Amino acid sequence: MQGNPAFLQKFNQPVPRYTSYPTVPFWKDVIDIPQWKQAFHNQFSACNEQEGISLYIHLPFCESLCIYCGCNKKVTTNHHVESVYLQALFSEWNMYLEMMGRPPLIREIHLGGGTPTFFSPENLERLISRLLEGAVVHPDHSFSIEGHPNNTTKEHLDTLYGLGFRRISYGVQDLDPEVQKAIHRLQPFENVRRATEEARDSGFTAVNFDLIYGLPLQTQERLERTIRQAVSLQPDRLAFYSYAHTPWMNCSQRLINETYLPSAEQKLALYESGKRWLTEGGYHNIGMDHFALDSDELYAAWRNNTLHRNFMGYTTQHSGMLLGLGVSSISDLGSAFAQNDKTLGGYYQSINSRELAVRKGYFLTGEDRVFRRHILDITCKGATMFDMTWSALLEEWTLPLLREYEKDGLVYLDEKGVVLTEAGKPFLRHVCKAFDLHLLRDEKIRGAGIQRCGKSALNDEAIGEKGSDPGEGRPPQFSNAI
């Protein structure tokens, strides 16, 4: 079934990554700031003492442009921007500290980008010291960073280790020189090896790699070499993302020679082979796009059904509040989402006027919470039990699609719930979409059916994992599913 052209056509459509529900295109363009402040106050009061809070800090600068990239980034070689940006982050943090009124209990910090290692070790130390000043660090905390193998130095790693960081994710993407040339990201294997070994020497207990399939000039042989080389370094966890070619949203992708891109059929074959090579290398497939060694805590969380998913992707921590700081960062209060201004100019202007930089956002309804839970269940456990108090909506929107997927062999379905089959794992996002009432209603209104998701999904900028537009090379949230 999966090799046949009709099947491939049906599933080779952009589908959200579901790091939020509702997804960003369905948020309001202008958030009610007093309502946001009230929601923040309520959630902070509810979760700070027990669970603590998570912080996502977006560091947007990069020294060179990788043309496949869908991140919110600013390319520059001028490092004076670091201090200016840090000052803005400190002012933003101060505004939230005033709203908190008591010391935050910090459970999680994640530095994403852009390229966080664009910042000097001294400036990263200034940043973390300021965030922790007067805060309480949760005994079960987790601090992590995205590093570029080309510019992460031993000094960066030693400094970060001293500040409590134990996990680093490197954007590897592909190790073949021809593919690297085609995406304008020249990064020899030697740099990845050095950065990995140095992280371990510094004391990091977890090193992650991001790989991407579906890139220009990628072939079975090239991808196999990339995966075998990556596996030889034994990263604890690997993300294996699908490249989403969306040049109408990401201008730099227009520089990619489209004749170099694999077809839908070749892309599915790359995914299937990649999954096999990773599994042969000792990695377990976890939820959407992720593979982990036995020893990795994400694998334990997957097995124990304690995995969680938010804008930072999969996480073993669930703090009840994710506060995003910096340009384009996203905050998730559980009951509401908000995103900061996506332009540096707009972000600086708000912060310098002593105003929050939140722009668009969304306050969840009762229906949203139920369908969000179904989507989280599917992404984190591969199964969900229906909430029958919402049976009319399930019958109208969700079940017709799930019955179709059952015929395709992607799910087991009964009156109580749905479970993904092994064959259904690559199509997990499509199964989530069956619960995405915002997208399904929007498609119906537009008569879009199987067409691309119209304005709501594709004419807006994509937002990905990690609390902002996807950083360090990650593809956008709306990704071609195969």
Maximal CA-CA distance, the chain? 60
Rounded to a whole number of angstroms, the minimum distance from the CB of residue 73 to ligand SF4 is 5
Least distance from ligand SF4 to the Cβ atom of residue 66, Å: 3
Distance CA 242, CA 269 (A): 12
Phi, psi of 193 (to 5 degrees): -60, -50
Q: Look up tokens 């990064």; give the residue.
A: 187
Which member of 358, 472, 475, 482 binds ligand SF4 (CB under 6 A)? 472
Work out which of 24, 39, 62, 292 binds ligand SF4, going by CB under 6 A: 62
Q: Any contact of residue 17 with ligand SF4 (CB under 6 A)?
A: no
Q: How far apart are the first and last CA of the chain?
A: 14
Please, what is the minimum distance in Å from the beta carbon of residue 69 to ligand SF4? 3
Q: Which stretch binds ligand SF4 (CB under 6 A): 64-72, 88-96, 124-132, 454-462?
A: 64-72
What is the Cα–Cα distance from 226 to 84, expressed in whole angstroms? 38
One residue of 16, 104, 361, 471 binding ligand SF4 per CB under 6 A: 471
Contacting range for ligand SF4; rule: CB under 6 A; set: 242-250, 354-362, 436-444, 470-478: 470-478
Tell me which of 30, 65, 84, 388 binds ligand SF4, using CB under 6 A. Answer: 65
Q: Which of 71, 124, 351, 402 binds ligand SF4 (CB under 6 A)?
A: 71
Window of 63-71, 155-163, 192-200, 339-347 that interacts with ligand SF4 by CB under 6 A: 63-71
**Smallest distance from ligand SF4 to CB 151, Å:** 9
CA distance 410 to 7: 12
All residues at 6 or more sequence positions from 149 whose CB lies less than 8 Å from its CB, including other chains: 170, 171, 172, 187, 191, 192, 194, 195, 196
Which of 380, 381, 414, 410 is CA-nearest to residue 399? 414
> What tokens were used for 242?
């699908």
- Give whichever of 71 and 131 is closer to ligand SF4, judged by the CB atom: 71
SS3 assignment, position 108: strand
Sequence-ordered list of residues with C-beta below 8 angstroms from that of 62, at least 6 positions apart, any chain? 71, 73, 74, 75, 76, 113, 114, 115, 118, 148
- CA–CA separation, 481 vs 430, rounded Å? 8
Nearer to ligand SF4, 243 or 362 (CB): 243
> Among residues 146 and 297, whose Cβ is nearest to ligand SF4?
146
CB of 148 to ligand SF4, least distance (A): 6
The site that binds ligand SF4 (CB under 6 A) totals a number of residues, namely 14
CB-nearer residue toward ligand SF4: 255 or 423:
255
The two tokens of residue 224 are 């196999």
Nearer to ligand SF4 (CB atom), residue 150 or residue 319: 150
Please provide residue 140's backbone torsions phi and psi, each rounded to the nearest 5 degrees: -105, 60
Q: Which of 31, 57, 69, 163 binds ligand SF4 (CB under 6 A)?
A: 69
Q: DSSP letter string over 328-377? A: T-EEE-SSEEEEE-SSHHHHHHHHHTT---EEEEEE--HHHHHHHHHHHH
Q: Compute CA distances 399 → 208, 244, 309, 369, whole Å.
A: 37, 28, 24, 18
Residues 77-136 that bind ligand SF4 (CB under 6 A): 113-115
Candidate segments 82-90, 435-443, 444-452, 466-474, binder of ligand SF4 by CB under 6 A: 466-474
- Which of 121, 147, 313, 473 binds ligand SF4 (CB under 6 A)? It is 473
Strand bridging mode 313-315 / 308-310: antiparallel
- Closest contact distance (angstroms) between CB of 132 and ligand SF4 is 26
- For residue 173, the minimal CB distance to ligand SF4 (Å) is 8
Quick check: helix, strand or coil at residue 385? strand
Nearer to ligand SF4, 146 or 442 (CB): 146
Q: How far is the CB of 117 from ligand SF4 (least distance, A)?
A: 10
Cβ nearer to ligand SF4, comparing 66 with 256: 66
Min separation Cβ 185 and ligand SF4, Å: 6
CA 395 to chain centre: 31
List binders of ligand SF4 among 161-220 (CB under 6 A): 171
* Token pair 């363009």 in the structure block, residue: 29
- Number of residues assigned to the chain: 482
Q: How far is the CB of 476 from ligand SF4 (least distance, A)?
A: 11
Q: Please give the helix or strand (H or E) that residue 9 lies within, else none.
A: helix 5-11
Q: Which residue type occupies 4? A: N
> Interaction with ligand SF4 in 139-158: which residues (CB under 6 A)?
148
What is the C-alpha separation between 12 and 4, in angstroms, rounded? 12
Q: In the complex, which residues of this chain contact ligand SF4 (CB under 6 A)?
A: 62, 65-66, 69, 71, 73, 113-115, 148, 171, 471-473
